[in-house]
Structure 1
Amino acid sequence: MKDTFSVRDTLEVNGKKYAFASLTKLGQRFDLKRLPYSMKILLENLLRHEDGVDVTAKEIEAVATWDSKKEPDTEIAFMPARVLLQDFTGVPCVVDLAAMRDAMKMLGGDPTLINPLSPAELVIDHSVQVDVFGSEDALERNVEMEFKRNQARYSFLRWGQKALTDFKVVPPRTGIVHQVNLEYLARVVMGTEIEGQLWAYPDTLFGTDSHTTMVNGLGVLGWGVGGIEAEAAMLGQPSSMLIPQVVGLKLLGQLPEGATATDLVLTVTELLRRQGVVGKFVEFFGPGLKHLALADRATLGNMAPEYGATCAICPIDVESLKYLRLSGRSEEQVALVEAYAKVQGLWHDENSAPAEFSVTLELDLASVKPSMAGPKRPQDHVLLTNVKQNFNDNLGATIVRRNGAEARFANEGGATAVGHDASARTHRQRVVRNGQEFHVDDGAVVIAAITSCTNTSNPAVMLAAGLLAKKAAAKGLKTKPWVKTSLAPGSKVVTDYLEKTGLLTELDKLGFYLVGYGCTTCIGNSGPLPEEVSKAISDGDLTVGAVLSGNRNFEGRVHAEVKMNYLASPPLVVAYALAGSLDVDLTTEPLGQGTDGKNVYLKDVWPSNKEISDLMAGAVTSDMFKKNYADVFKGDERWSSIASPDGDLYAWDRDSTYIKNPPYFDGMTMALTPVEDIHAARCLGLFGDSITTDHISPAGAIKKDSPAGRFLISRGVQPIDFNSYGSRRGNDDVMVRGTFANIRIKNQLLDGVEGGFTRHIPSGEQMSIYDAAMKYKEEKTPLVVIAGKEYGTGSSRDWAAKGTLLLGIKAVIAESFERIHRSNLVGMGVLPCTFKDGENAKSLGLTGNETFDLTGLDNGNSRNATVTATAADGSRKQFSVNVMLLTPKEREFFRHGGILQYVLRQLAGKKAA
């Protein structure tokens, strides 16, 4: 620590002396009281890491004198205190580290230098799938299948536990990464020995999952990054970022009767999407904040990626300390958090002076109404009163041919397209299952899932779901037989308080049996629908729905057969399982008939706020957290019995279809090759707006007739053992074949074709995107992708960038990028470019059939490039694009071929020196 501003100080807490970088001392030179909470965290980070190279006095002063209205243009280096991984993104991270160790040895360096330099914790939560549901043994059977499918991955992670220092794994059947982080892993304030001295500093983190921002509710600054950026952070590399703008959202009042934290966050998502907060920090403040429990704040933080913000944070206050005590943190840690926050000016109370923000918005919590979001995007906010109309509007004026008959549905004069009784629909499908006969129609809810860290971390909404189930069961209501129901808590604490209150049994009565501890439906691990229901959907070409308490509902994500997906609070998930259809207005139409033959409405079974709060007062205790996290890294007998190799270098198994040494470092030398212009490239895909990372690199099922499916079959893997794309991210052979393989993606090079297909331009032949890319590779033809707005929205999926690289794509030209995906492309050496304002493929008359030259890159230094599109007849269109290498550090990464190559050369160079 260089300490240009003489800010080093000491703090004594619990009889221990901590060194710290004092913001109070710096405040004697600069007016820091005006800075938002999050900006103070960044400032402390710079003070503590000042070295005159990566962090200089100039950057510190730039943050200390932050101009709230200024567009970001000043680069700073941020060093998170720790890194958080989940297994879908964590496995490829560890694969990359293992590959880097091999490459380090090849370059003559010390392989053990490839090692986390700050705490890295991985939670296995993405692998459990809802194969079995609606039965008491669902949990055990799903876990059994999870271990059987993922033996190779888990063995590899156990190697990582042994070979890598400061790397810990939370085994399966524990909880969801963000909930485990909130309830146990988050420190809020770190107390760490550095070079023989005890230091106190804010807990900050990078996570390889977008919803890392959930911990923002606890006052911890962190956000989702791609796996490659997380790896660089683990290896001690600072992350380059522009000083952000900070949007303040002032909360007033308190939530009204009947409104939940889910309704609040869906309202906020719509509000902030409309405002435009992509790449910005969001900070919550105001008198309404004190009325939000910590779990509600965490819900707000969790959905930050859905409104596009980098983070969405609440400051440390009394509620923070209350939660730390409740969740079993030691009194010593709580005392450190309180003392540090107060001495640093990070403590918030009603008398705190308001900070200065780039933009200040207001929301009266009393205005929040019961809501959902759907059917395809989390920002598509729909009031509960409008869900039926929303469903029918999206079903649209459609001509559907079924069984040789035509049925036309239209929305005219405010009439709904399809009646709830569906008696006149010729396409309804008769189903017989488990001795029951029923009909499935358009709008049938075939999945109702209480899932996802967003809501399962919140006792209020989970208890509300249980209370609603209890009241509904008492009236004799039953879940409709075509609904696949599931309960996947984010931690075992949830199970404990549901059991303690007797509500777990009530949820069982309606089919919401415990199916696993993991993300399940929210990430597409819904498992198969019952065969009879699946056949009815296929035979009738039905547009069916899912209602889930998750955070994402993009096309093709939840389930391949389900086209309309709505996000909702857990109690509404239960309600829709009872109603069985989206084509019903739950505010005016009955959920069903009770045993007395009378209609039962949602208002009859909805629990009051007082009922929920009274129950919660004694339901959730500190002992539950202490018990469940007492030995969290140990795991059960299944986990401890998994064999794994030893040694600093991983013993790659050539026969494994899960774990493989990736080709990123093949032929790598210490010398750099200059960045060259791109000539005679072909367009592999021409896409519209909102192409998500789910479209680019799906996480769900692998179709047997897809390139990835055919590859696995060729390696002797039967379709029943395919598992998912997400689980196979440690094998590049599978993942490159799955890139752009989403069943709903639409490539405009083809007319009306859905799925991962393209046209090989020279031959005119339609083929899979992977096959076309390999054909272009044989022809030594570079590739580009052209897209619309919000390209790469969604999960921080590093394989969306890795697969893009391995297909031979040199550049992506889009109208706009999602923050993390743009960063991931840079990190893999793929050039992201944006059209100039007001221009896009359509306005420029591009068909995608042209050849493309990108010139003027100037070894990666240029902010602009010239694109020349040459048509088959020789005619040319020329236009300028923005080169989205935003900082000097990013340009350096790009010149190295990617961030991993940069880090590897730096470490190998140090060893050589």
Structure 2
Amino acid sequence: MSDSFSTRSQLNVGGKTYDYFSLPTLGQRFDISHLPYSMKILLENLLRHEDGGITVGKDHIEAVARWNPAAEPDTEIAFMPARVVLQDFTGVPCVVDLAAMRDAVVKLGGSPEQINPQIPSELVIDHSVQVDVFGKPDALDLNGKIEFQRNQERYGFLRWGQKAFDNFKVVPPNTGIVHQVNLENLARVVMTADKDGKAVAYPDTVFGTDSHTTMINGIGVLGWGVGGIEAEAAMLGQPSSMLIPQVVGFKLTGKLPEGATATDLVLTVTQMLRKLGVVGKFVEFYGDGLQHLPLADRATIGNMAPEYGATCGIFPIDAESLNYLRLSGRSEEQINLVEAYAKAQGLWHDANSPHAQYSTTLELDMGTVKPSLAGPKRPQDRVLLEDVQKNYREALVGMTANRDKRSDDVSSFVNEGGGAAVGNEQLAKGYADIETEGRKVRLKDGAVVIAAITSCTNTSNPAVMIGAGLLARNAAAKGLNRQPWVKTSLGPGSRVVTDYLEKAGVLKELEKIGFYVVGYGCTTCIGNSGPLPTEVSAGIATGDLVVTSVLSGNRNFEGRVHPEVKMNYLASPPLVVAYAIAGTTDIDLTTQPLGTGSDGQPVFLRDIWPSNKEIGDVIAATIGPEMFKQNYADVFKGDTRWNTIASPDGNLYEWSDASTYIKNPPYFDGMTMQTSSIDDVHGARVMGLFGDSITTDHIS
């Protein structure tokens, strides 16, 4: 450990003394007052890990301290995150590799205990639950049973890992979504660790094996999604090489107007940043508007950094950060440490904070944000609520061109005295007559067949969740309900959400419209939407229909939500409820009624939309620290299903030759204590060359 600039100092908080690497001390040598918040975190990281140039040298520290906002990235630095978070799909291969390393070490005469994560590593199981059952009180239980039946081997393996490895914890299934659990419980904001017998305080930074790890940026924690290999390297104490980035400053002013939500805001931000182009860059939010932006709204904006293309979308630590830490049940000792450390390091934001310099800036008056959706194929394609019907109809033309051509052919045959094959008359009209839930209905192009309140992007935000519940209450009071062809689901990102919805009296109102809790996981947002009802699926096929989904997720690429659903619109939870009632996107919800009330009168969206004040009053009356403390008291314990899954004991995993899923990888076969030469790769070929806006969803 080196300390070329003599920045190691001490901080006393609540009678405890912490060592830390002082940015103000470095500031006596370099003018770092202009550095963005995120760059200061990178700078501290280098100071703390300086090792004489093996990975971090004096020149790396100087490069960040002298950061030029206008310069193109050309200097590499080694960044070491404080911890790693994983989800089960990408996390299982990481644990498999660690298990294989232990086997290899033992074969070479070592001890398996030599292989352990070197930094805190926490895996949240959230990617496995699917919406097989919906719209009924026992949907949560039945989906959970099916989930465990499908994942016995995987879950048994992860239970073994939890017991076998130090510094590795597993949040069991049916707890929540990794990014929301990270925000509500796992994030420390300021970390402490014992180094050479002394307590050292430093910023919480994180790598996650999921692109939306950036949600934690909302609370001032720098982090982003990485691949499995990079995450494994970090777990084993290895730094990640990165170019010193450019930083885009996004100035927020004003506050959201009546009727606009955090979802509308993030879709607006995403559209603006996509247009600017921020790939490979940090985005940092600042401005007077921060004082009107709750932490949950900030987390929503940070969450969608992958959609606007940035490495991260970060907010500084301020009084609102502390308010959220207190609300979510963090200890006063931790909150005091966060405040004291942030202020000591110049990482605290308030009205007197110096203005940072940015590579470029963008500005948004939040008072101009309007109700919006995004779709039908890309999250950056924002559409004003008043324009959704027009947007849908324009997209429909291209999607039905082949069908319409076939229909024209059928018409010409009929006009010439021929007959149409069975089904082709419906094909020509873009509809299918079906019977579902005991009713005969006509399924048409534009029908909303999936309406899902899903994803940590929005279920972490009490304002939009309470808003959805109040809208459902108002709709039910007027006699409205979902259309029978709509598959409705509520997939909260944590159990805290269900608790406050229930306490507010709106969970039962959502259930009246069909939004029963189906599971605590990613569900529809990642395509785990489950099968459509058989009759709906058959109707889509019969009519060759272009149907839609409306979900409160973060991505809407073709085929991602459901293979039979060609158009997908991202929307706030209240709008998800509204479209479930309307049953179609071929409607202008600003001018046309959602339906007819029990009194025979048309009911418009404006008639049932709750006010910002009512939403705020309900939040204040229902959500408190005890709710979080109770739900996270035993976050790593799990339920009976989890704790009764068979899993091996011992430090080495018992590989099964019969398994087709968890196999001992061959990477270490034939390994010796002598290093072998690395051979060149000759004759390698490109496997695929793709154009713009092609994602892994399309490829898979």
Q: What TM-score, normalized by structure 1, do the two folds share?
A: 0.73
Partner amino acid, structure 2, of 1:462: M
Q: What's the CA shift string for 1:569-619, capped at 9, x where partnerless?
A: 000000000010111111111111111111111111111111111111111
Per the TM alignment, residue 540 of structure 1 is displaced from its structure 2 partner at its CA by 1.3
What residue number does 1:604 align with?
607
The answer to whether structure 1 residue 270 and structure 2 residue 271 are counterparts is: yes
Partner amino acid, structure 2, of 1:592: G
What residue number does 1:14 align with?
14
Per the TM alignment, residue 688 of structure 1 is displaced from its structure 2 partner at its CA by 3.0
Secondary structure at the residue paired with 1:223?
strand
Partner amino acid, structure 2, of 1:28: Q
CA contact (8 A) 1:402 1:541 kept: no
The answer to whether structure 1 residue 526 and structure 2 residue 525 are counterparts is: no
Partner amino acid, structure 2, of 1:176: I
Once residues 664 and 408 of structure 2 are traced to their aligned partners in structure 1, the CA distance between those partners, rounded to angstroms, is 53
Bigger relative contact order, structure 1 or 2 (CA pairs below 8 A, ≥6 apart): 2
Per the TM alignment, residue 348 of structure 1 is displaced from its structure 2 partner at its CA by 0.3
Once residues 545 and 32 of structure 2 are traced to their aligned partners in structure 1, the CA distance between those partners, rounded to angstroms, is 59
Partner amino acid, structure 2, of 1:614: D
Partner amino acid, structure 1, of 2:456: C
Once residues 476 and 505 of structure 1 are traced to their aligned partners in structure 2, the CA distance between those partners, rounded to angstroms, is 15
What residue number does 2:309 align with?
308
Secondary structure at the residue paired with 2:449?
strand
Partner amino acid, structure 1, of 2:170: V
What residue number does 1:133 align with?
134
What residue number does 2:416 align with?
none
The answer to whether structure 1 residue 447 and structure 2 residue 430 are counterparts is: no
CA contact (8 A) 1:213 1:311 kept: yes
Q: What's the CA shift string for 1:161-206, capped at 9, x where partnerless?
A: 1111110001111111111000000000012212311011000010
Q: Aligned residues: percent identity? A: 71
Partner amino acid, structure 1, of 2:145: E
Once residues 468 and 667 of structure 2 are traced to their aligned partners in structure 1, the CA distance between those partners, rounded to angstroms, is 47
Once residues 467 and 430 of structure 2 are traced to their aligned partners in structure 1, the CA distance between those partners, rounded to angstroms, is 37
Per the TM alignment, residue 689 of structure 1 is displaced from its structure 2 partner at its CA by 2.5
CA contact (8 A) 2:376 2:556 kept: yes
Secondary structure at the residue paired with 2:64?
helix
Once residues 405 and 555 of structure 1 are traced to their aligned partners in structure 2, the CA distance between those partners, rounded to angstroms, is 24
What residue number does 1:231 align with?
232
What residue number does 2:177 align with?
176
Once residues 407 and 459 of structure 1 are traced to their aligned partners in structure 2, the CA distance between those partners, rounded to angstroms, is 53
CA contact (8 A) 1:178 1:453 kept: yes
The answer to whether structure 1 residue 673 and structure 2 residue 675 are counterparts is: no
Per the TM alignment, residue 280 of structure 1 is displaced from its structure 2 partner at its CA by 0.5
CA contact (8 A) 1:399 1:407 kept: no
Per the TM alignment, residue 435 of structure 1 is displaced from its structure 2 partner at its CA by 1.4
| 1:481-500 map, 5 Å | 481-500=484-503
Per the TM alignment, residue 478 of structure 1 is displaced from its structure 2 partner at its CA by 1.0
CA contact (8 A) 2:30 2:65 kept: yes
CA 1:263–1:2: 2 relative to 1, 3 Å: same
Once residues 172 and 247 of structure 2 are traced to their aligned partners in structure 1, the CA distance between those partners, rounded to angstroms, is 37
Per the TM alignment, residue 98 of structure 1 is displaced from its structure 2 partner at its CA by 1.5
CA contact (8 A) 1:21 1:48 kept: yes
CA contact (8 A) 2:36 2:356 kept: yes
What residue number does 2:92 align with?
91
What residue number does 2:505 align with?
502
Q: Bigger shift: 556-565 or 641-650? A: 641-650
Once residues 642 and 521 of structure 2 are traced to their aligned partners in structure 1, the CA distance between those partners, rounded to angstroms, is 16
Once residues 10 and 689 of structure 2 are traced to their aligned partners in structure 1, the CA distance between those partners, rounded to angstroms, is 58
Once residues 424 and 399 of structure 1 are traced to their aligned partners in structure 2, the CA distance between those partners, rounded to angstroms, is 12
Once residues 495 and 342 of structure 1 are traced to their aligned partners in structure 2, the CA distance between those partners, rounded to angstroms, is 36
What residue number does 1:477 align with?
480
Partner amino acid, structure 1, of 2:645: I
CA 1:223–1:423: 2 relative to 1, 3 Å: same
Partner amino acid, structure 2, of 1:689: D
Once residues 24 and 128 of structure 2 are traced to their aligned partners in structure 1, the CA distance between those partners, rounded to angstroms, is 46
Partner amino acid, structure 2, of 1:98: A
Secondary structure at the residue paired with 1:673?
coil
What residue number does 2:466 align with?
463
What residue number does 1:652 align with?
655
Per the TM alignment, residue 368 of structure 1 is displaced from its structure 2 partner at its CA by 0.6
CA contact (8 A) 1:400 1:408 kept: no
Once residues 432 and 405 of structure 2 are traced to their aligned partners in structure 1, the CA distance between those partners, rounded to angstroms, is 11
What residue number does 1:627 align with?
630
Q: 2:440 aligns with which of 437, 442, 458?
A: 437
Q: What's the CA shift string for 1:221-267, capped at 9, x where partnerless?
A: 11100111000000010100010110000101111111100000000
Per the TM alignment, residue 693 of structure 1 is displaced from its structure 2 partner at its CA by 1.9
Secondary structure at the residue paired with 2:401?
strand
What residue number does 2:587 align with?
584
Per the TM alignment, residue 218 of structure 1 is displaced from its structure 2 partner at its CA by 0.3
CA contact (8 A) 1:41 1:221 kept: yes
CA contact (8 A) 2:491 2:522 kept: yes
What residue number does 1:357 align with?
358
Per the TM alignment, residue 361 of structure 1 is displaced from its structure 2 partner at its CA by 1.0
Per the TM alignment, residue 110 of structure 1 is displaced from its structure 2 partner at its CA by 4.5
Per the TM alignment, residue 119 of structure 1 is displaced from its structure 2 partner at its CA by 0.3
Structure with bigger helix share is 2
Q: What's the CA shift string for 1:262-303, capped at 9, x where partnerless?
A: 000000001001111001000000000110000000001000
Q: Bigger shift: 609-618 or 400-409? A: 400-409
Once residues 118 and 379 of structure 1 are traced to their aligned partners in structure 2, the CA distance between those partners, rounded to angstroms, is 35
Partner amino acid, structure 2, of 1:694: D
CA contact (8 A) 1:131 1:528 kept: yes
What residue number does 2:290 align with?
289
Cα RMSD after superposing both structures: 1.8
Secondary structure at the residue paired with 1:678?
coil
What residue number does 1:536 align with?
539
Per the TM alignment, residue 684 of structure 1 is displaced from its structure 2 partner at its CA by 4.7
Q: What TM-score, normalized by structure 2, do the two folds share?
A: 0.95
Per the TM alignment, residue 685 of structure 1 is displaced from its structure 2 partner at its CA by 4.0
The answer to whether structure 1 residue 5 and structure 2 residue 5 are counterparts is: yes
Per the TM alignment, residue 395 of structure 1 is displaced from its structure 2 partner at its CA by 1.3
Q: Bigger shift: 373-382 or 36-45? A: 373-382
Unaligned runs of 5+ in 2: 412-424
Once residues 279 and 615 of structure 1 are traced to their aligned partners in structure 2, the CA distance between those partners, rounded to angstroms, is 40
Secondary structure at the residue paired with 2:41?
helix
Q: 4+ residue stretches of structure 1 with deviation over 6 A? A: 422-425
Once residues 35 and 602 of structure 2 are traced to their aligned partners in structure 1, the CA distance between those partners, rounded to angstroms, is 56
Q: What's the CA shift string for 1:691-746, capped at 9, x where partnerless?
A: 212234xxxxxxxxxxxxxxxxxxxxxxxxxxxxxxxxxxxxxxxxxxxxx3xxxx
Q: 2:563 aligns with which of 560, 570, 575?
A: 560
What residue number does 2:415 align with?
none
CA contact (8 A) 1:399 1:408 kept: no
Unaligned runs of 5+ in 1: 410-421, 697-741, 743-913
Q: 1:617 aligns with which of 605, 620, 623?
A: 620
Once residues 50 and 508 of structure 1 are traced to their aligned partners in structure 2, the CA distance between those partners, rounded to angstroms, is 56
Once residues 67 and 495 of structure 1 are traced to their aligned partners in structure 2, the CA distance between those partners, rounded to angstroms, is 47
Aligned residues: 683
What residue number does 1:40 align with?
40
Partner amino acid, structure 1, of 2:693: S
Partner amino acid, structure 1, of 2:314: I
CA contact (8 A) 1:401 1:407 kept: no
Q: What's the CA shift string for 1:851-908, capped at 9, x where partnerless?
A: xxxxxxxxxxxxxxxxxxxxxxxxxxxxxxxxxxxxxxxxxxxxxxxxxxxxxxxxxx
Once residues 605 and 104 of structure 1 are traced to their aligned partners in structure 2, the CA distance between those partners, rounded to angstroms, is 64
Once residues 27 and 255 of structure 1 are traced to their aligned partners in structure 2, the CA distance between those partners, rounded to angstroms, is 37
Once residues 633 and 592 of structure 2 are traced to their aligned partners in structure 1, the CA distance between those partners, rounded to angstroms, is 47
CA 1:315–1:651: 2 relative to 1, 3 Å: same
Partner amino acid, structure 2, of 1:376: K
Partner amino acid, structure 2, of 1:275: L
Q: What's the CA shift string for 1:614-664, capped at 9, x where partnerless?
A: 111111111100110111111111111112112222111122233122344
Once residues 373 and 182 of structure 2 are traced to their aligned partners in structure 1, the CA distance between those partners, rounded to angstroms, is 26
| 1:140-219 map, 5 Å | 140-219=141-220
CA contact (8 A) 2:124 2:172 kept: yes
What residue number does 2:422 align with?
none
Once residues 78 and 320 of structure 2 are traced to their aligned partners in structure 1, the CA distance between those partners, rounded to angstroms, is 31
Per the TM alignment, residue 95 of structure 1 is displaced from its structure 2 partner at its CA by 1.2
CA contact (8 A) 2:467 2:574 kept: yes
What residue number does 1:836 align with?
none
